[in-house]
Structure 1
Amino acid sequence: MKRVLIAVAIVLVHLWAVHHVVAAGFFKVGEPAPAFSLTSVTGDAVSLEQLKGKVVVLGLFHICDPCMTQGTNLQKVHEAMAGKNVAVVGVNSSGDSKRGVGEFLSAFPVKVTYPYLLDPNKTTDKLYGGGKFIPNVYVIDQRGVIRWQRVGNMELAGAEVIIQEVEKLLTAATPAGAGAM
């Protein structure tokens, strides 16, 4: 009887956790990406709307070691996708100052050359359901629909995995015979 009660308790805890994760806004694959408009650390305004028509790799970060690792992976994606219809964007919603985020970026093992946006009000955390589980990576198709995501730091998305997901969308958007020479 004790084993049955333990098994039931485990199942109930699992169901509760899944319900709360879904309620928190995760598992958005197939849904339109929530719109945002933010300013980069260099002062440029960037909105998701202006990136429509491109595959967007969106990284949501705070200031943490897993965020640095994931941000470095996004730099690799940015470099690998140069010249393609792809935009890589990082958003830091730690609430830290521009200076604090700049210091964090300067500690990266690579120079970040993709737009890195400041979200001091944590708007993207709320829109994308993050905040508790950071970093998050989303791949958004050319029409603005989330096609892939990796939430939290339990299993960071390597550059190769992200590139594969981006390539799928680029290939799907290329008509048969186009691009062949």
Structure 2
Amino acid sequence: MNQLLRYICACLFTLTVLAVAAPGKAESDAPLVRTGALAPNFKLPTLSGENKSLAQYRGKIVLVNFWASWCPYCRDEMPSMDRLVKSFPKGDLVVLAVNVEKRFPEKYRRAPVSFNFLSDATGQVQQRYGANRLPDTFIVDRKGIIRQRVTGGIEWDAPKVVSYLKSL
């Protein structure tokens, strides 16, 4: 019995030493986004198969919106995003609605919205941005800097939101 107790203690000690000595999370594993930093570029396909990158919209205000069809808050905020885009001069504000599902829902292929649906079927962009709670939207200014992160659905065409976005 005494020998078994020593063996268990030795195993626990070894595991503790290994846990303490193990390197921390690699810097490349950490989300690359934070307010005030340059937004990481990405390239994702649209529904028509055309690739769109965040970098191609430099000089415009961009909302990078991570969403899924099963998320009621994501669905609820889409009409206000559409109205928001229409309230800006054409092309001045861009919404990149990044769907994080493995298969893009058929119902949204015909959605009458004035912004681009992108597909992140592999989840790589979602992971890179650390967008774990949906909807999760990153407001990127004309220089490509992340100015705000909005987690949860909001009325995007509310006067205060529009005023803030126009100030960028």
Q: What is the TM-score normalised by the length of structure 2?
A: 0.72
Cα deviation code 1:15-60 (max 9, x no counterpart): xxxxxxxx97498211111111001112221101111111112211
List structure 1 runs of 4+ shifted beyond 6 angstroms.
none
2:73 counterpart (66, 71, 75):
66
How many angstroms apart in 2 are the aligned matches of 1:112 and 1:69? 13
After superposition, the Cα gap between the structure-2 partners of 1:130 and 1:73, relative to the gap in structure 1 and judged at 3 Å, is same
- Change in 2 beyond 3 A, CA 1:165/1:119: same
Offset of residue 82 of structure 1: 3.6
**Number of the residue aligned with 1:83:** 90
Tell me the CA shift for residue 162 of structure 1. 3.5
For these two proteins, the number of residue pairs brought into alignment is 138
The 5-angstrom pairing of residues 9-20 of structure 1 reads none
Taking the aligned partners of 2:72 and 2:128, their CA distance within structure 1 comes to 23
Query: Which residues of 2 match residues 87-126 of structure 1 at below 5 A?
Result: 87-95=94-102, 97-98=103-104, 100=105, 102-104=106-108, 106=110, 111-126=112-127
Aligned-residue Cα RMSD (Å) equals 2.4
What does the per-residue CA deviation read over 1:141-180, in whole Å, with 9 as the maximum and x for residues that have no partner?
A: 1111001121135xx35322432221010xxxxxxxxxxx
Query: What is the distance in 2 between the residues matched to 1:125 and 1:165?
Result: 25
Number of the residue aligned with 1:8:
none
For the pair 1:37 / 2:35, whether they are aligned, the reply is: no
If the length of structure 1 is used for normalisation, what is the TM-score? 0.67
Aligned to 1:54: 60
Contact 2:44-2:119 at 8 Å conserved across structures:
yes
Largest Rg, 1 or 2: 2
